[in-house]
Amino acid sequence: MAQIIRIENIADHVGETVTLQGWLYRKTGKGKLQFLQIRDGSGQIQGVMFKPNLPEEIFAAGKRLTQESSIIVTGTVKAEPRAKGIPAGYELDVSDLEIVQIADEYPITPKEHGVDFLMEHRHLWIRSRKQWATLRIRATIMRAIRDWLDGEGYVEMSTPIFTPAAGEGTTTLFEVDYFGEPIYLAQTGQLYNEANIFAFGKVYAFGPTFRAEKSKTRRHMTEFWMVEPETAYQDLDGLMDMEERFVSYIVQRVLKERRAELEVLERDTSALERVVPPFPRVSYDEAFEKLQEIRANSDDPELKDLLALEWGDDFGSPHETELTKLYDRPIFVYGFPTAAKAFYMEPWPGRPEVCKSVDMLAPEGYGEITGGSERISDPELLLERIKHDKLPEAAFKWYLDLRKYGSVPHSGFGLGVERTVAWICGIHHVRETNPFPRTLGRVYP
RNA sequence: UCCUCGGUAGCUCAAUUGGCAGAGCGAGCGGCUGUUAACCGCUUGGUUGUAGGUUCGAGUCCUACCCGAGGAGCCA
């Protein structure tokens, strides 16, 4: 054995003899030549075995290898411009091969498979190139999220996952038995973060969140990750400024650090290069007009039906999709009708029928990736809204307290990690952006 | 909950009017010095989602159910 290295560092070892610990991803034999596609979790490289250059038993060991067999391979690193590995441009001239285990017949072949089969084998599917690339990018996105917020002076706060039923609408909450009492898995940490900002000024929560929605679409999961920054002394305009800087940083960071993975995914990176501030800001009223226009000009009766909308309705995904088609970068839609939004959102000055809410819609049909608002800071108005929505006042006592002891304008948003990963990776369905997705009707594996 | 489509070999799919259940891939064996979804030859492969019905005969037609996919609704 030589020095053990990881494939992602292969460029530092050209001309050296090194050892790789990994798995056989694929093999092609050609008589006296064998090509082993080796992966070690950090990358992929082709190992070349030429019979006349090797002891007979080593070459024979190569022939025995099955897909996903675990192997320890020693060889000389060569620069080879035509090699397609990850990173590209390197090859390993194999001199020794140790078999750790000959893998059983592996169910996932290089050919095509259906969604159900792949989801049933998710524990193995994550080894495949595109899944591997997606999940590496996910990790980078999660790191970029923390790096940007930490760099801006935000303090990470853990908010509870066990929560009392703060309001109505428990139909979308997962109920848990808490020593005989029903409690619920958190849908958001926002209300707690509104308490946290009065102690720390700028905070964020980052973790899993749970929604018992019976949604079976490519953008829904019952368990997903969300980052929720909340900022004191920040109004709606300040919120949009912050969001566009934040999201641009994440995208540019992925472009910088995960080129090889984006290439595996065949992602059009020019669409990502354009993600720099400022993002277009479209009011609900303007968006409403645009959608009416698109609907009027459409020849497709089905689309006309899907786009039917009255002022005051929240947008569905068909509306978001049509709207984002008009732009080549993320957009903000702000000023939604108050009736369609949550009780805590600050009303628009002089126009109480709309509120200081904002969604960010990703381009290329990906739709909503963030939702946020400026929060009500006036205690009397907040109480009025709680009563208007017939929410249990007692449960919000602590929340109302926040408006009594040094209340300030403040705002925040939630960004859905899986939807963001899907957009940046150019992946159709959010289920591929989480290693073990929980969706309606599937919790295995 | 509603709409649409589907369920046949380990996988992806085919099977004409109701008439012998097939192909490719995978796997196994052999061949090949530049493959990378390799290629060539041979071998291996079936409770047609479940239950019932019609029929001389059902993968195909009928009924009910189960499961999956896409979408809608729903979704701070």
pLDDT in tens, A276-322: 999 999 999 999 999 999 888 887 777 888 888 889 888 988 899 88
Is there a contact between A370 and A414 (Cβ–Cβ < 8 Å)? yes
Is there a contact between A99 and A64 (Cβ–Cβ < 8 Å)? yes
Mean pLDDT, to the nearest integer, of A402-430?
Answer: 95
Class of domain A122-433: alpha beta
Q: CA A361, C1' B20: Å apart?
A: 58
Q: CA A269, C1' B75: Å apart?
A: 31
Give residue-wise pLDDT tens across range A178-212: 999 888 999 899 999 999 999 999 999 999 999 88
Question: Which CA distances in Å does A274 have to A246, A270, A280, A287?
Answer: 14, 7, 12, 22
Other Cβ atoms closer than 10 A to A380: 10
Do strands A17-30 and A70-79 pair parallel, antiparallel, or not at all (unpaired)?
Answer: antiparallel
* Residue A18: alpha-carbon gap to chain centroid: 35
Which of A 62-101 have CB under 7 A of nucleic chain B? Answer: 66-67, 80, 82-84, 91
Which of A 273-332 have CB under 7 A of nucleic chain B? Answer: 306, 314, 316-318
Chain B positions under 7 Å from a protein CB?
A: 1-2, 10-13, 24-28, 31-39, 67-76
Strand B closer than 7 A to residue A107 Cβ:
yes
Please name which of A298, A2, A260 lies closest in space to residue A130, comparing C-alpha atoms: A260
Mean pLDDT, to the nearest integer, of A40-51?
Answer: 95
The mean pLDDT value of chain A amounts to 92
Helix (H, G, I), strand (E, B) or coil at A212: coil
- The domain limits of chain A are 3-101, 122-433
Helix (H, G, I), strand (E, B) or coil at A118: helix
Same fold, A3-101 and A122-433: no
Q: Which of A57-66, A97-106, A365-374, A388-397 has the lowest mean pLDDT?
A: A388-397
For residue A167, what pLDDT is reported? 53
Q: Which of A137-151, A262-276, A285-299, A369-383 has the lowest mean pLDDT?
A: A285-299
Do strands A162-163 and A70-79 pair parallel, antiparallel, or not at all (unpaired)?
Answer: unpaired
Helices (H), A126-178: 129-151
For residue A298, what pLDDT is reported? 81
Nucleotide nearest to A228 (CA to C1'): B76
Q: CA A413, C1' B72: Å apart?
A: 27
Confidence of residue A123 (pLDDT cuts 50, 70, 90): very high
Please name which of A149, A140, A133 lies closest in space to residue A246, comparing C-alpha atoms: A149
Give residue-wise pLDDT tens across range A361-374: 999 888 899 999 99
Class of domain A3-101: mainly beta
This complex has an ipTM of: 0.88
Query: With pLDDT > 90 as the criterion, what percentage of chain A qualifies?
Result: 74
Burial class (CB in 10 A: 0-12, 13-18, 19+), A51: middle
For residue A33, what pLDDT is reported? 93
Task: Kindly provide the b/e burial profile for residues A266-288, where b requires at least 16 CB atoms within 10 angstroms of the residue's own CB.
Answer: ebeeebbeebeeebeebbbeebb
Is there a contact between A328 and A364 (Cβ–Cβ < 8 Å)? no
